[in-house]
Homo-oligomer: A and B are copies of this chain.
Amino acid sequence: MTFTFEVLVTLKPGLADPQGKAVEASLPAMGFANVSGVHVGRHVRLDVEATNEATAAAQVEEVARRLLSNPVIEDFRVLQSATADGAA
């Protein structure tokens, strides 16, 4: 069965986020003075072939920890988005 997951990788709180600051700096000129706290991270979607959801989820956690994020400066969160074929 194929399970689709999404991994959201975000900078740990307090670290410098120049991309977020660049977005924030552009907002007032566009009329969005009420938007703040912008933080830019990565979104990764992936398909996992596994016999059950728990196995797939555990693998995604490991991929996220070892390959998709830098644990020193980043946190990640896993969302399951869909089962590609049939019921879970």
Contacts and interface: CB of A to CB of B under 8 A. Distances in A.
A14 interface: no
Contacts of A68: 23
- Per assembly, the copies of the chain total 2
Per DSSP, chain A at the interface is: strand
Interface string A40-61: 1111111111100000000110
Interface size class of A (residues with CB under 8 A): 35 or more
B46 A37 contact: yes
A8 interface: yes
Contact of A42 (B36, B43, B62): B43
Contacts of A42: 40-43
Interface in A1-45: 4, 6, 8-10, 20, 23, 26-27, 30, 32, 34-45
